[in-house]
């Protein structure tokens, strides 16, 4: 990689990058203050929803090419540049009362987001001791998970108690802090010495196409359920206010555990983990549908789903990097596109189903998408026999 391992502490760099990934994922957590956003900008809930989802939609598109563009540049400057864009954008968002201007800077942040996450995953795999590579990757994925899941109650708390500006100030503060940490503690790490070549033959292969279609079904199905769980708990389980917040916080903790567990299980039995995940997740959705009137069963199943939801980060990233072993930046960019594109599609389909068929329909939809994912994953693993990193 061109750096001397004696010049830096890999663990220190890992935790700086982990905190940084947490910081740049906090913009995702403003979903919890949609009513405050609507009130602050004096816009409808639907327009506020577009303002929120613009971040995810942009990542889904820019993840396909932005990581490649940044791959040749020195890593410290790249990380600092991206975190600087986040800090400046969020600072402007704090003080503007125009949702159009706020949206422009929110989208600007999202454009460069995939480069940071992709390079963080790539650098961590490069600096990790040979027997700890998956552990390092898992910790970066934990940063993503914590930023969007634990960031939700923190941002929601600031927003509901102190208002929209306070929530955005918290997001700016964590971005600025991580920028300072990168500038002070991160060493210079060179980028790729030659121009990046896109492996078109791999991208056009049947293995890559069918595997990617299969794994995008996972975040679609999971997102259909996850994003409407609060509405389900309010309307069906009659759980409100602080009790709802406690359930969601506990779900987040279980999800973080799931991300850690997924990383461990992949190293031990990757094929079995990929297949059993789909079966168990589909089964949980079916049981939530049939036992929706039993509160204890509902809460237990939601927490199991939390573990599975966290595992999904690792599974998607693992398949993409297995399919493109010589193109880590591209593979990690596609991972982010699949994850965020799937979430955006799942939210849209879930909203349509809730409006048209009622909130219970999310479990049927989620079940069907996981069954499709199961069929395709079994096919690419057992029939096409795709090459996996740890097999």
d(CA 215, CA 220): 9
What digits encode the pLDDT tens for the residues 161-182? 888 899 999 999 999 999 999 9
pLDDT for res 6: 41
The pTM of this model reads 0.82
More confident residue, 144 or 391: 144
What digits encode the pLDDT tens for the residues 322-366? 998 888 888 888 998 999 889 888 888 888 888 889 889 999 999
What digits encode the pLDDT tens for the residues 59-83? 989 988 898 888 888 999 999 999 9
What would the two tokens of residue 124 be? 């961590």
Show the 3-state SS of 97-157: CCHHHHHHHHHHHHHHHHHHHHHHHHHHHHHCCHHHHHHHHHHHHHHHHHHHHCHHHHHHH
Of all residues in the chain, the percent with pLDDT exceeding 90 is 52
d(CA 165, CA 313): 31
Torsion-angle region of residue 241: left (phi > 0), alpha (psi -120 to 50) or beta?
Answer: left
CB of 387 within 8 A of CB of 271?
no
pLDDT for res 273: 95
More confident residue, 256 or 3: 256
- Mean of the per-residue pLDDT values for the chain? 88
Give the number of other CB atoms < 10 A from CB of residue 181: 19
Question: Whose CA is closest to 305, among 237, 264, 263, 251?
Answer: 251
What digits encode the pLDDT tens for the residues 27-58? 888 877 877 888 899 988 778 878 888 888 89
What digits encode the pLDDT tens for the residues 258-310? 999 999 999 999 999 999 999 999 999 999 999 999 999 999 999 999 999 99
Give the number of other CB atoms < 10 A from CB of residue 281: 28
Those residues with Cβ within 8 angstroms of residue 346's Cβ, 6 or more apart along the chain or in another chain: 219, 220, 221, 222, 223, 224, 226, 227, 369
- Percent helix, strand and coil across the chain, each to the nearest 5: 85, 0, 15
CB of 377 within 8 A of CB of 385?
no
Burial class (CB in 10 A: 0-12, 13-18, 19+), 13: buried
Give the number of other CB atoms < 10 A from CB of residue 294: 13
What digits encode the pLDDT tens for the residues 280-289? 999 999 999 9
pLDDT for res 4: 45
């Amino acid at each position: 990689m061109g750096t001397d391992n004696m010049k830096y502490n890999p663990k220190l760099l890992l935790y700086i990058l982990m905190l940084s990934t947490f910081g740049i994922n906090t913009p995702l957590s403003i979903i919890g203050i949609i009513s405050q956003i609507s009130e602050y900008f004096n816009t409808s809930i639907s327009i506020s929803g577009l303002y929120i989802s613009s971040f995810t939609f942009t990542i889904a598109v820019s993840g396909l090419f932005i990581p490649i563009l940044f791959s040749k540049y020195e890593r410290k400057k790249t990380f600092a540049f991206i975190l600087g864009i986040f800090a400046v954008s969020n600072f402007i968002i704090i003080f503007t009362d125009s949702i159009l201007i706020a949206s422009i800077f929110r989208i600007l942040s999202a454009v460069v987001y995939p480069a940071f996450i992709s390079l963080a995953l790539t650098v961590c795999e490069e600096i990790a001791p040979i027997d700890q590579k998956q552990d390092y990757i898992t910790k970066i994925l934990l940063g993503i998970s914590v930023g969007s899941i634990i960031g939700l109650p923190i941002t929601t708390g600031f927003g509901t108690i102190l208002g929209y500006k306070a929530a955005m100030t918290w997001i700016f503060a964590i971005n600025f802090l991580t920028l300072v940490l990168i500038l002070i503690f991160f060493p210079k790490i060179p980028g790729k010495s030659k121009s990046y070549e896109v492996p078109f033959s791999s991208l056009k292969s049947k293995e890559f196409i069918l595997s990617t279609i299969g794994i995008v079904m996972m975040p679609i199905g999971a997102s259909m359920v996850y994003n409407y769980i609060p509405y389900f708990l309010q309307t069906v389980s009659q759980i409100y206010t602080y009790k709802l917040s406690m359930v969601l916080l506990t779900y987040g903790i279980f999800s973080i555990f799931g991300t850690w567990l997924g990383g461990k299980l992949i190293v031990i039995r990757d094929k079995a983990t990929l297949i059993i995940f789909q079966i168990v997740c589909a089964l949980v959705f079916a049981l939530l549908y049939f036992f929706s009137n039993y509160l204890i069963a509902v809460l237990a199943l939601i927490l199991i789903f939390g573990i599975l939801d966290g595992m999904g980060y690792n599974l998607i990233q693992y398949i993409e990097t297995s399919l493109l072993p010589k193109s880590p930046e591209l593979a990690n960019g596609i991972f982010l596109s699949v994850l965020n594109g799937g979430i955006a599609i799942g939210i849209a389909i879930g909203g349509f189903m809730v409006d048209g068929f009622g909130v219970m329909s999310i479990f049927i939809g989620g079940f069907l998408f996981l069954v499709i994912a199961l069929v395709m994953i079994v096919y690419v693993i057992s029939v096409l026999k795709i090459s996996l990193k740890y097999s």
